[in-house]
Each structure stands twice: as structure tokens, then as C-alpha cells.
Amino acid sequence: MSKFFTFFCFIILALGNLAHVSSAHKLGVFELKQDDFSITVTNYGARIVSVILPDKNGKSADVVLGYDTIKGYMNDTSYIGAIVGRVANRIGGAEFTLNGTHYKLDANEGTSMLHGGKKGFSQVIWKVIKHEKNGPSPHITLSYHSADGEEGFPGAVVVFVTYTLSKRYKLSITMKAKAKNKATPVSLAQHSYWNLGGHDSGDILSDELQIFASHITPVDKKLIPNGEIISVKKTPYDFLSPHVIRTQIKELPNGSKGYDINYVLNGYKMKKMKPVAVVYNKKSGRVMKLSSNAPGVQLYTGNYIKDVKGKGGYVYQAHAALCLETQGFPDSVNHPNFPSQIVTPGKPYEHYMLFKFSSKKD
């Protein structure tokens, strides 16, 4: 019996045992499979649980961090695999003003709000609308109704997320939201932690990374943007050409544990699909290309992961994976010069991500 099948069965049992946590929607794990390419998703936080891909020699591995049981996800503080919102990333002071009304939010990182508050979208049970495991286009659609006033945000919002596999190792993610009765900020992000060598292969510092962004939004000590948009040229943030992460991370200012910064994607003012990043793991030969219609992407190199017991008992440490979270700019509600993330009943939210996986030999 393969370790992936064993892991899958173990998760199903764990979720089944804890299904009583919701009377409306039962917890579950749902597989999408196309030949030797598969993912599993749980409706707890609409999280990606596994992504299994072959390497350059045809050997499969799971390339995202995760846990063996639902309890692991419920106790998780790193948003592993989750859809985060209503507003991803940080809102300074956990407050903003919209249409003359001041809103005070649920602060969960000091005085700021991170990833939607103490009970953001990552910590709720989503409803499975449709699930097609196999076929030419395996997919799953999940939805969540966010009530007016939830975590302090104005207005009710209905959110939909769809994960779809297609041939030649493509994973698309569609995130949509509709404001029911009031204008409100919405900015969702998919928070998977990627290690193309395999989730249990060590750190990602030897990976090669390219990001199609000439600028970043610099932050203060609380990681809140100061409102500026500055060039990455001649700085350690420059990944316009492919660089090994280790060589760049060494050049960061003293005291920095790694990257946790929003990149302003080239062509960010256009809402069409555009290249975001390319990651290459030389040992496995796996390549991941990401494109999106979002204006920004948060590069996070797992700086604060420490002694996290993951799948199969493997213990994750700092830099065990990287996140590429396409998003609206952090704290955009408090910076008029940033692209607006305000959604109204007549203006829905649409966010697309496309991952293209491949492998190459030396």
C-alpha cells in the first residue's frame, strides 16, 4: 500500500470522526485525479491537503506542506493550504473607513488584522457545491456565506472557490465573491506552502525563483505597507531574472529571517492574466509556473515555521517551503494609491490562478 493512499485513508477517518463540529456541513477530503497528477482538498478552510506530481524520473511526491489529521489543521497557525479572507494579508490598526463609516475589525496580530481575523475563511467549514473526481476536467467547487459584521467587516458576502485539474499538469484556482447588500473589501489568497522537492525533502533555499515584478510595497516593523511602491533593482528583492533563493536571502537586512513581502506584478493595473513566478527544483527537476489576474503576490519563505509536525511525522522547520500568494496589495483599504479591493453588489470579485507543472532533466 502506497504512503499516499495510506495518508488519504487516514485523513478520511480523522475527518469522519470529527464531522460533528458542524451540523450544516460535514467535513471531508475530496480527491481530484488525472493520471499521475492528483490533489486532495478539505472543506475545512477550503484547503489544499496534497498535490502529487512526478519528478524528472517519474517518481511521485507530495509537494505541499500539510498535516495527517484534521486536528492538525484546526490547530494550525500558519494557514497551511487555506483560502484566507475576507481580506488576505494585513490591515494596519485593524481598521478602515469606507463611504464615511469607520469600521473596527478583529485584531489578531498585535494591533493589526491578519488574513481575516481570529476566525477568517481559513477556519470555517465550506459547503461542497460540486465535486467531480475524474474525467477530462476533475474539479471541486466550495462556497461560504460570510455574514454582515463577521470579524467586523460590513455586509454579507457569498464566496466561491473552484479547484480544477487539466491535462499536462495544470491546476487552476478560481475565487469569486458577491457582496449581498453593502460595499465591502474582499481580497482572497490561496496559502499553500510549496516544496517542489517533496514536502519532506528539507528546505527550499536551493530552489531557483523568478518573479515578474519590478517593484514591491515596503513595510514597517509590523509588516504594514507604508504606502510607497519602490523598485527592486539592485536589492535582494530582485528576482526579475532567476536566482537561487539562498544567494538572495543572505543579502537581506540584518535581522530578517527571510522574505515576507508583496511584489507589485508587472502590468498590475490590468486585470488580465499575467505571469507571476517560476520555481525550479534542480534535484527533482520539477518546475512550477504561476500566472494570475491579481495585482500582487506575497512571497513568504516560511520564516517562522519551527518544529511543526507534518505529514508522516516529518517535522517542518524554517524555509521548509515557500508561498506565492497572489492578492490585492496589503492594507489597500488604507492606501488610496493602491488598487481598490472594494466589492459592491453590482461589482463582484474575481481572482484567478493557474499553476503549470513540468519537469526537466539537467
Question: What's the CA gap between 270 and 322, in Å, rounded?
Answer: 26
> How far, in Å, CA of 52 to CA of 325, rounded?
20
Instruction: Please state, in angstroms and rounded to a whole number, the distance separating the CA atoms of residues 232 and 83.
Output: 28
286 labeled part of a ligand binding site: no
89 is in an annotated binding site: yes
Helix/strand/coil for 247: helix
DSSP 3-state of 154: coil
C-alpha cell at 355: 499553476
Query: Catalytic residue among 31, 150, 151, 325, which?
Result: 325
Q: What is the 3-state secondary structure (H, E, C) of 57-122?
A: CCCEEECECCCCCHHHHHHCCCCCCEEECCECCEEHHHEEEECCEEEECCCCECCEEECCCCCCHH
Q: Is 334 left (phi over 0), alpha (psi -120 to 50) or beta?
A: alpha
Between CA 196 and CA 228 the distance in angstroms is 33
Active site residue 191: yes
168 annotated as ligand-binding: no
The verdict on whether 228 is a catalytic residue reads no
> Is 131 part of any known ligand binding site?
no
3-state SS class at 13: helix
Residues 275/212, Cβ–Cβ less than 8 Å: yes
260 labeled part of a ligand binding site? yes
Which of 25, 150, 151, 191 is labelled catalytic?
A: 191
**φ, ψ at 45 (rounded to 5°):** 75, 10
Strand partners, 263: 216, 297
99 is in an annotated binding site: no
d(CA 132, CA 33): 9
Q: What angle do CA 245, 251, 257 make, to 5 degrees?
A: 75
Residue 4 · residue 31 · CB < 8 Å:
no
Q: What is the dihedral sign for C-alpha 83, 89, 93, 98?
A: negative
User: Any idea what DSSP says for residue 125?
Assistant: B
Helix (H) or strand (E) holding 286: strand 286-292
Residues known to be catalytic: 191, 325
User: From the annotation, which residues make up the binding site?
Assistant: 89-90, 191-193, 260
User: From the annotation, which residues make up the binding site for beta-D-galactose?
Assistant: 89-90, 191-193, 260
